[in-house]
Chain A
Amino acid sequence: MSVPAIHIQGLTKSYDTVQALKGVDITIEEGQFFGLLGPNGAGKTTTINILTGLVLREQGITEIFGRDTVKDYRFTRSQVGIAGQELSVDWFFPIEKLLYFQAGYYGIPKRKARPRVEELLHRLGLSDKRKSRLRQLSGGMKRRYQLAKSLVHDPKILILDEPTAGVDVELRHELWHYLREMHQQGKTILLTTHYIEEAEMLCDRVAIINDGKVITEGTPKELTRRLGRAGITVHLAGWRDDLPDLLRNFTYTHEDGRIHFTVRDPEGEMPEIISTLARHGCHILSVETAKSSLEDVFLSLTGKGINEA
């Protein structure tokens, strides 16, 4: 079995009297697009900050490609590119120079970094702004610069902390597109987000973190199937007394001819429901399906929506 790209086990962290992490366990295989989903204050940023050396580890294991992130920091940090939640501000140097500095910190001399810096400036639409200072860039450009900075040493793992927080829809889609491209090129991506849609669209595996603990993990599909609250609503011409007997194998509620079936997989279970009703001569007026989302999963696990937790 191959060594996981990221392995976190029993990770704890306290700030004064607050226990921010209460034993986080996460394993991310190489090449995965992994989403760490949770509300603000759940422990997402603390987890990745410990992994990248910004926060001191208290207890537990944090490994990158099987190597300890504290003892073997030179190796582990060289494998990771990080785009943090906070945008850094440098008043002194143009962004092109800042990218060369960033490459230098990772041991890459200027002449070797040049093609990569050029490619990133071009790919992220920053070529024209190469001589600008960060304060002269728009919010969207700053985000793109931040992504370029995290990729300048061509890391195998990309860690993004809330990359689309506070950005407009257009830029969000642009960033998603770029991240998909990075993933297709083989990069392992760890993304923290509190946007359900983002995790569902991009990630092939998701862990939900709440109150300093991972409460569930799986593919978005698995999670919604297992924990979602999807449903099918069938509107009949009228209620019949024999229906409770016919539908005894289903979970449902009804009101004025509208029957709401609670199902895990609406698409898979709809044909059976429709054929049962049709076989017994029920007149179906309409059928609606409500697809489950990770929001439902979060709701069913915590009793709260992700943005109200």
Chain B
Amino acid sequence: MSPIVNWIGLWTLVKREVGRFFAVYRQTILPSLISSALYILIFGFTLQQRISEIGGVPYTLFIIPGLIMMNTLTNASANTSSSMLQMKLLQQLPDILTAPLSSVEISLAYIIGGTVRGLVNGVLVLLLGVILLDMPIQQPVMTLIFIFLVSWAFSSMGLLLGQIADSWDQLAMMQNFFLTPLSFLGGIFYSVKMLPEWAQTLSFVNPIYYMINGIRHTTLGFSDSSPTVSFLMALLLTILFTVLAMILMHSGKKIKQ
């Protein structure tokens, strides 16, 4: 009698996915810390001369939640998308596809791997803020839940993209032309209230705007968007991308012939 869930198989694949990015931590963990520290130093300390406070907090502190989110979501999505594409291109995928693992188990393992990377990167940038700038965390549990949720959502999105992409070029295009601009336009470095009305309206259709403001609320205690809307948006993206990634995996359309 075959088991309903191949727990050992699922756990093994999670270990592989997590072990994979820890094995190359210089590529997957340290850059977030270095780039965030640079953002704090260059953007924060120079712009602080001109923008003293936003929402009652110093500018350098204001940008930290956005940096946390940017690092969380880019790392979470990069982990799953690159791992999936790499396995496709280097003929590693057959090892998993011929094993008694269901499409849900395979998807979950990848998503958990990406979520862990997003979470690790997000929390490290958070700690950087606490250590360098004595950043307050108004709601620590909600902050962690929010980072986790956003990690999961973008890890699932990465899995979707990794399955769809056939080359590194396609993957880079999706990241460079969509994810990075949407992150920057989501209000990492500014409050949307500083923008003209038409630009504010545009920001409202950018899902990353809600992610950044959600964590800004749980840490600094204020945000442009309602915290409930931010949380619901994160939840919606999590469910949407998880379901889409699993449906595509189950169909086998982009990973099987």
Contacts and interface: CB of A to CB of B under 8 A. Distances in A.
Contacts of A84: 91, 94
Interface string B231-257: 000000000000000000000100011
Interface string A135-164: 000000000000001000000000000000
B31 interface: no
Which of A86, A102, A106, A108 is packed against the most chain B CB atoms within 10 Å? Answer: A106
Interface string B1-38: 01100111101110110011001100000000000000
Given A105-B9, A107-B6, A107-B8, A82 B90 contact: no
B2 A89 contact: no
Contacts of A250: none
Nearest to B13: A105
A56 interface: yes
B23 A93 contact: yes
Contact of A105 (B2, B91, B99, B257): B99
Contacts of A90: 90, 92
A100 B16 CA distance: 10
Given A56-B252, A105-B9, A106-B100, A89 B91 contact: yes
Interface in A98-120: 100-102, 104-109
A10 interface: no
B101 interface: yes
Interface residues of B, number: 30
A15 B2 contact: no
A49 B13 contact: no
A108 B100 contact: no
B49 interface: no
Interface in B72-106: 90-92, 94-102
Contacts of A52: 98
A65 to B, nearest CB: 12
Given A53-B97, A78-B2, A104-B15, 19 more contacts: A54-B94, A56-B252, A72-B2, A74-B100, A74-B102, A84-B94, A88-B92, A88-B95, A92-B20, A102-B95, A104-B9, A104-B11, A104-B12, A104-B13, A105-B96, A107-B6, A107-B7, A107-B8, A108-B8
Sorted from nearest, which 6 A-B pairs have the closest CB atoms? A104-B12, A105-B99, A74-B2, A74-B100, A88-B91, A77-B100
A75 interface: yes
Contacts of B13: 101, 104-105
A80 interface: yes
A102 B13 CA distance: 9
B257 A77 contact: no
Contacts of A49: 257
Interface string A53-80: 1111000000000000000111101101
A87 interface: yes
A152 to B, nearest CB: 11
A171 B95 CA distance: 23
Interface in A9-48: 15
A246 to B, nearest CB: 61
Nearest to B14: A104
Contacts of B102: 74
A87 B2 contact: no
Given A90-B90, A107-B6, A149 B95 contact: yes
B257 to A, nearest CB: 5
A110 to B, nearest CB: 9
Contacts of B252: 56
A15 B91 CA distance: 20
